[in-house]
Structure 1
Amino acid sequence: MKIRIILDFICPYCFVGEKLLEKALKNSNSKVEFEFLPYELCPEPNPQTIVNENNKTYFLETVGKWAANEDILITFPTINPKPRTALAFEGLYIAEKYNKGIEYIRAVLDNYWIMNKNIGDIDVLAQIAQSLSIPFEEFHDSLLSRSFKEKHIKLNLEVSEYNFDVVPTFYINEKQLDNFPRTSKEWEAILK
């Protein structure tokens, strides 16, 4: 089974949606091949989103309650402004070279949504990579030199042409799901 996910790391729905999929996969015998497609919610040169109390209130009443109902730990990130995610996506290309794509995606999401770390910072991303046994120097130098910048910009633009309304958007074996599953049980039914 192939699962393609359009996401951005700073999207709380992407975090919870991926956690639901992760939980369902633990209860499944499905062999899954992942493909991740970037869709930056705030690409350059757009201004970065400012975090404020209104954001927090809305987050706690919606995403926070949803995550709690599914036993998913999530916190309200206080990094201000919200980090840009181009570097995090450029790091994904290196992680995939070492067959660590899904582990990298999950670690970056966890670092932002649970540990409140600035995933727009090269050093934070390099520490994540190192924790996954991805060579620190290669990873750090690739991000510093922006080795994958053009590849990322091109892919981000291509993805923006896809027919989708929200992130995350999931595809199972090339078929786009009409709505992304809101519970791990819904995912388990899809994975059967």
Structure 2
Amino acid sequence: MKVEIWSDFMCPFCYIGKRRFELALQKFAGKDQVEVIYRSFELDPEAKRDVDYDVHDMLAGKYGMTRERAISMNNDITEQAKSVGLRYLFDTMILTNTFDAHRLAHFAAKHGKAAEMVELLLKSYFTDSKHIGDHATLADLAVQIGLDRRETEEMLASGAFTEDVRSDEQEAGELGIRAVPFFLIDRKLAVTGAQPTEVFLDALNQAFASA
């Protein structure tokens, strides 16, 4: 079975959904037969790499709400994250453009380390307050999972894996994906959003039974 996951590294529900899916996978009888493939999706392709405002102000401006309301919403998400063992620190998150982080994920996948890279990028943004649009930071993260620093730096300085990211995004458009996380199981069954673990488990069982 193949499970493709479209997500963005600055999407709070993508990390929560990923963890709920993983919890379901642990309970799935056919887990050893599941291949997980991570696909790229940018919530804001036009986002700048460096900004002088925080996530609360970004949400307030995007949705026309007060900063206090945005903080309250993010506090609610923090509690949801906590329920699956994740620690979100919205006050110190560094907003950026995630395109190069997506290129790095594809680079890691080429070296058989996609899962490690995706997890570390999400943790770095939501928990460690790292600037995942910064090339030096991305190179540091690559080294943490065993990738070569010089090769990583050369990749980031080039346009390598741009087409891989764009291909994932184009396919998302063709599949009608407008929000993430989006889970596609064997190209037959889709789960949208950070659904409860039981929903993911039911979907896996259903896809397995019809395989």
- TM bracket, shorter-chain basis: 0.7 to 0.9
Which amino acid letter does the alignment assign opposite residue 173 of structure 2? S
CA distance in structure 2 between the partners assigned to 1:165 and 1:15 by the alignment: 17
Ranges in structure 2 where 5+ consecutive residues have no aligned partner = 57-66, 206-211
Greater CA radius of gyration, 1 or 2?
A: 2
In the alignment, which residue of structure 1 is the partner of 2:187? 174
Q: Structure 1's 45 and 22: CA in aligned 2 closer, same or farther, altered over 3 A?
A: closer
Q: Does the 8 Å contact 1:64/1:74 carry over to 2?
A: yes
Moved more, 30-39 or 136-145: 30-39
- SS in structure 2 at match of 1:37: strand
Deviations 1:38-70 (A, max 9, x none): 111111378978522443321112x22222333
Q: Structure 1's 42 and 181: CA in aligned 2 closer, same or farther, altered over 3 A?
A: closer
Q: Aligned pair 1:57/2:59, yes or no?
A: no
- SS in structure 1 at match of 2:55: coil
Q: Does the 8 Å contact 2:189/2:203 carry over to 1?
A: no
Q: Does the 8 Å contact 1:77/1:112 carry over to 2?
A: no
- SS in structure 2 at match of 1:36: strand
In the alignment, which residue of structure 1 is the partner of 2:165? 152
Q: Structure 1's 112 and 77: CA in aligned 2 closer, same or farther, altered over 3 A?
A: farther
Which amino acid letter does the alignment assign opposite residue 24 of structure 2? A
Q: Does the 8 Å contact 1:77/1:113 carry over to 2?
A: no
Which amino acid letter does the alignment assign opposite residue 184 of structure 1? T
CA distance in structure 1 between the partners assigned to 2:166 and 2:204 by the alignment: 32
Q: Aligned pair 1:38/2:51, yes or no?
A: no
Q: Aligned pair 1:106/2:119, yes or no?
A: yes
- SS in structure 1 at match of 2:143: helix
Q: RMSD of aligned C-alpha atoms?
A: 2.4
Ranges in structure 1 where 5+ consecutive residues have no aligned partner = none
In the alignment, which residue of structure 2 is the partner of 1:89? 102
How far off its partner does 1:25 sit?
A: 2.9
The alignment covers a number of residue pairs equal to 190
Moved more, 140-149 or 2-11: 140-149
In the alignment, which residue of structure 1 is the partner of 2:84? 70
Q: Does the 8 Å contact 1:3/1:170 carry over to 2?
A: yes
Bigger proportion of residues as helix: 2
How far off its partner does 1:158 sit?
A: 3.6
Normalising to structure 1: TM-score of the pair? 0.85
Q: Structure 1's 17 and 181: CA in aligned 2 closer, same or farther, altered over 3 A?
A: closer
- SS in structure 2 at match of 1:95: helix
CA distance in structure 2 between the partners assigned to 1:172 and 1:43 by the alignment: 26
Deviations 1:77-96 (A, max 9, x none): 5345x211100011112101
- SS in structure 2 at match of 1:35: strand
Q: Does the 8 Å contact 2:179/2:193 carry over to 1?
A: no
Sequence identity (%): 26
CA distance in structure 2 between the partners assigned to 1:8 and 1:55 by the alignment: 20
